[in-house]
Structure 1
Amino acid sequence: MKKITSLLALFLIITSCGVKQTRELLTSGDYDAAIRNAVDGLRGNKNAKGRQDYVYMLEEAFAKAKERDLRNINGWFKDANPQNLEKIYETYIQLNFRQEQIRPLLPLKLLKEGRDAQFPFDDYTDQIVSSKNALSKYLYDNSKALLVTKDKMTIRRAYDDLVYLESINPGFKDVAKLTDEAKFKGTDFVSVYTKNETNMVIPVRLENDLLDFSTYGLNDKWTVYHSNRQKGIDYDYGLIVNFRQINISPEQVKEKQFDKEKLIKDGVKNLLDANGHVVKDSLGNPIKVDNMKTIRISIYEFSQTKACQVTAKVDYINFKNNQLIETFPLASEFVFTNIYSRYKGDKRACEETYYPNFDRKAVPFPSNEQMVFDTGNDLKAKLKDIISRNKFRR
């Protein structure tokens, strides 16, 4: 019984909160949100006494929302501004949608008044069709006019209008073709290339890898990067990777020698007393103890190193006026290291983690070209970060 009472109390609390929130939405003029809340509250047992508040508020919110929308539509028609056509169409859609939200719940009883709640529905089919046709014509004509301009931001607005037009009126005239045209004309095309201002040859592999923008994932809705110029494209911007300096250190081999020692167990031995006699247990058996001994090792460690530093800058160029927009520093370093060791003595005297060094040998140093190429991964990551953080249009 207590459990049932607790559940009932919880239900009443939840219902009370929902009613309060719906009333606040209604009094604040957010009629559609109030309608959504009321509809949700009436799902299930719609005729329960505890849900009567929802019915009253739904009736009031519907009437006020409808009156407001029809009043707005009337004002937009009188204004005769074609930019209001979308508002008119969307409002008719909302008027119809609002009715369809409520329709499955009908009839709804007002128990105290002994009547059904009033929801005067209208058929908006003709208004929706006529407003959609008027809006479609306006969007189509206006978009075609915008596509004639040279301003990419204006063309992008035309693209958005055409996409919207296709969504409300699929297959309308040649909208698909115009949408593709707007997408192309509204796109910023960026030509990416390198310049070598150093006294060294940049490996072709590095240039190709650095300019392989298909691996960067940087193309977005309105920006496309090309490392190879394509015919028929008027490029808007240039992204130039200028190699300024390449420093390669001499090949170095350093040697160092160090000793280690460790106390280890080497079997067992008899325990002796202070006089050198064997100590025995109660059964007369000699007592055994660990036989500890010190082992030593001399290690000869060789370290091969060679370093490469690449310094560059990334220039953003506006091709429309041939002006430098901004410059960003770009640098990377790659260090080749190979450590190998030889030893004399007992290998166990050093840490096991050091053992792999004993298995390594001297290797040929990488060429200068390979060293420069090996900076590539770090350069690509840093270049991608620069481009991701610094768009051409901000």
Structure 2
Amino acid sequence: MKALVFIFLIFLIFSCNSVKKTQRAINSGNYTEAINRSVKQLQKNKFNKKGYQYANLLKISSEKFVESNLKRIDFLEKETLKNNAKPIYESYLRLQDVQNRIRPLLPLENEDGSKVIFEFYDFSDEIIAKKKSYAEYLYVKANQFLDSGDKIDSRLAYNSFVELEKLTPSYKNASNLKRDAYINGIDFVLVSLFNTTEQIIPALLEDRLLNFNTYDLDDLWTEYHVNPREDFSYDFAIDINFTSIQFSPERLLERQVPLERAVVDGWRYKKDRVGNFIIDDEGNKIKEDIVINVSGTLFETVQSKEVKVIAEVNYFDLNSDQKINNYPLESLFIFENRFANFEGDRKVLNKDESFLLTRGPVNYPTHEQMLSDSCEDIKAKLKSILKQQIRN
């Protein structure tokens, strides 16, 4: 009973606090928060005592919301600034949205049963007119950016055309102009790979490294070309120069590992000092593990081979004919194969040691295989460099 009373009191306090928070939001001019709180509570239950309170709070907050937004619209229109088209249009959308959220809750009542009266306005003409104004503003602004011929301006034009298409699909020739803005805003980068080492880089590795579709760079404004095209004017060049490829000898390491452990080897009934069985509370004999000491020798063999790849990535600005960045790239790939033989009691072996007994020697990979296997690590390092350059 006490627990139920406690829960009820907590609920009552929470409800009172929620009403007070809504009232405070109104008093501080945060009408949107007050509307959100009121609508949420009324959707749950609009017929209890709190529902009547929230109905009136919703009326007050929505009226003040409409009043403040209309005043803001009036001020923005008097400013006669072209870039006010967006905030004016969005203000009318917000006014319509609030009314659309209130309508499904009607009718709302006061505690005495009388109706809470809401005054609604038809903003459809204003929304249509301001949408046209906003669309025209975006179109004009985007064309001004595009006409400058500057790459950064072309990207701004593209963003404006994207916004325009979301607002009004198929607006004039915006789709074609957006495509032009995108092409003008792209940095075209020519990528070349050089090998100044004494090793041969496998063609497969080279193809995988230069397949920029697999790098997931998420860069809208950079397009990488491996094969130069005469119809493109390139902005930047990336030279990937492999300067050193070093292979270690084929190594074979053998070692003896003495093992000795206490292991469980079955069970028995537990006895006391005089040899009597020990019984639990239910009269059953208590079991205990039989622990024995076992030993053996693990003869482990490790085959290994390494390849270390060193390169440098140079960035060039082709418009100024200058090197703008240089990044070192280093990758280490290790081949390793472990296997073992054993003498002694196999109970001493753990899971990993037992697994080694199932393995055997393998052929060492060729230099070409090693380089191919190192590809993913080299690509990861190169991707990191490319992303770093994009951020710059």
Partner of 1:270: none
**3-state SS of 1:46 partner:** coil
Letter in 2 for 1:237: F
Secondary structure class of the residue paired with 1:109: coil
TM superposition shift of 1:383: 1.7
SS in structure 1 at match of 2:390: coil
Q: Which amino acid aligns with 2:43?
A: R
TM-score by length of 2: 0.77
Unaligned runs of 5+ in 1: 263-293
Aligned length: 356
Q: 1:64 to 1:203 in 2, by over 3 A?
A: same
What's 1:269 paired with? none
2-structure distance, mates of 1:29, 1:319: 55
Matches within 5 A, 1:198-217: 198-217=197-216
Distance 1:115 1:382, change over 3 A: same
1:100-179 map, 5 Å? 100-111=100-111, 116-179=115-178
What letter corresponds to residue 324 of structure 2 in structure 1? I
**Quick check: 2:338–2:356 contact (8 Å CA) kept in 1?**
no
Match of 2:16 in 1: 16
- Report the CA distance between 1:170 and its aligned residue: 2.3
* Structure 1 stretch displaced more, 73-82 or 313-322: 313-322
How many angstroms apart in 2 are the aligned matches of 1:172 and 1:200?
Answer: 58
The structure-2 alpha-carbon separation of the partners of 1:191 and 1:27, relative to structure 1 and needing over 3 Å to count, comes to farther
Aligned to 1:392: 390
Q: Which amino acid aligns with 1:30?
A: N
2:277 corresponding residue in structure 1: none
Q: Does 1:238 align with 2:266?
A: no
- Is the contact between residue 339 and residue 357 of structure 1 (CA under 8 Å) also seen in structure 2? no
Q: Which secondary structure state, in structure 1, belongs to the residue aligned with residue 143 of structure 2? A: helix
Identity %: 34
1:104-136 deviations in Å (ceiling 9; x for gaps):
223333446x85434321111111111111111
CA contact (8 A) 2:46 2:108 kept: yes
User: Aligned-pair RMSD on alpha carbons?
Assistant: 3.6
Aligned counterparts of 2:125 and 2:390: Cα–Cα separation in 1: 47
Q: Distance in 1 between matches of 2:359 and 2:139?
A: 75
Relative to structure 1, the CA distance from residue 116 to residue 152 in structure 2 (aligned partners, 3 Å threshold; closer, same or farther) is farther
DSSP-derived class of the 1:201 partner = coil
Separation of aligned partners in 2, 1:182 and 1:348: 76
Which residues of 2 match residues 1-394 of structure 1 at below 5 A? Answer: 8-111=8-111, 116-230=115-229, 232-251=231-250, 306-336=305-335, 347-348=343-344, 353=353, 360=360, 363=363, 365-388=364-387, 390-394=388-392
Which residue pairs with 1:268 in the alignment?
A: none
Q: CA deviation at 1:159?
A: 2.2
In structure 2, relative to structure 1, the CA distance for the partners of 1:122 and 1:336 (3 Å cut) is closer
1:360 offset after TM fit, Å? 3.8
How far does the alpha carbon of each residue in 1:299-321 deviate from its partner, in whole angstroms, 9 at most, with x for none? 7x876654332211122333332
Query: Who wins on radius of gyration, i.e. which is larger?
Result: 1
1:289 matched to which residue of 2?
none
Deviations 1:237-260 (A, max 9, x none): 333221112223445667x68697
C-alpha offsets along residues 2-51 of structure 1, whole Å, 9 cap, x if unaligned?
77755643442232122122122112211112111112222244243333
Distance 1:362 1:100, change over 3 A: closer
